[in-house]
Structure 1
Amino acid sequence: MKIYFAAPMFAESERLYNEMLVANIRQVLPELQIYLPQENGAINDKMAYANSVMIAEADTKEVLNSDLMIAVLDGVSIDAGVASEIGVAYAKNIPVIGLYTDSRQQGGEHPDKLAALTEIGENQFHYLNLYTTGLIKLNGVIVSSKEALISEISKRL
């Protein structure tokens, strides 16, 4: 199975997280072929040069050659590149497993957190773009942990 790993990758923390997570998946499920865009130096070595067309062609080719996409949804908002990749996957009926680990989603039934929703500026939860998450849910699932991600991948093997 070929997997496209869509994730933000410009901060060192993002790159390290992606490397750690992909290494863990590769260790647990060695039969998978995982494309991690940051490993493609031809377009993502930021000391070199790749224009927008080169990046779009290279990554779209990899999305279209994949059987499954993993999309990291964490951050202030869903990364613009990740959202674009999700759109390509949806258009080509490639299932997506969204990984959303934001701790603010916890405590969803806490009465004080729910009451705070009515107060301006007191939302205790994080917002994800509903169009993008809807595209994922139409042909995939969103999970909230590395363990759930690996379990979901395993189900699809």
Structure 2
Amino acid sequence: MTTSKHIYFAAPLFAQSDLLYNQHLVKRIRELSSALSIYLPQENAGINDKSAYADSKMIALADTEEVLKSDLMIALLDGLTIDAGVASEIGVAYAKGIPIIGLYTDSRQQGADNQQKLMALQTPAENQFHYLNLYTVGLIKLNGEIVNTEEALLEQIKSFLEGSDVHDL
């Protein structure tokens, strides 16, 4: 029997594309089990209605409280860099031993066996791959896993709900 689990969904939330993708993915996660409670920060109008006012302390306290009561964090890692808020939330989760599953779908990670792409690394400014901050990646890997598809993410969450440790998945 699955017990109730609280998931914190850490993701960028300032562009319409971010908001729509977050809604899409959280909807899919919520469909996995009625025993899930998911905190999606963009749904907290008290701090994320950008036409209203919330200062930095209000935002930090509200989101940190939700991170700390979570059993699992989902962290979206796509973008030019890992979103600063997401990186901060990852740090809090790591410090408190909350497992983290990172989702990194950037298409530039493909072709790791392509010799032309690998040789291009020797030429200044010809990196064919995307870079993620290794400190933040390390915090996730020390306390969880990184997957590169929505399907893999959903499978990881299902296994977590069935009692598997994120490191064992």
| TM-score under structure 1 length normalisation | 0.98
**Correspondence list, 1:1-157, <5 A:** 1-157=5-161
What SS does the corresponding residue of 1:71 show, helix, strand or coil? strand
The whole-number CA distance in structure 2 between the counterparts of 1:130 and 1:41 is: 32
Aligned equivalents of 1:118 and 1:29: distance in 2? 48
CA-CA distance at 1:115 after TM superposition? 0.6
Which AA in structure 2 matches 1:150?
L
Shift of 1:31: 2.2
Give the counterpart letter for 2:17 in structure 1. S
> 1:18 deviation in Å?
0.2
Superposed CA RMSD:
0.6
Q: What runs of 5+ residues in structure 1 fail to find an aligned partner?
A: none
Shift of 1:13: 0.4
Contact residue 32 and residue 158 of structure 2 kept, 8 A = no
Report the count of equivalent residues. 157
> In 1, distance between residues paired with 2:145 and 2:34?
22
Alpha-carbon distance in structure 2 between the residues aligned to 1:95 and 1:13: 27
Give 1:34 deviation, angstroms: 0.6
- SS in structure 1 of the partner of residue 73 of structure 2: strand
Runs (4 or more) in structure 1 with deviation over 4 Å come to: none
TM-fit CA distance, 1:107: 1.0
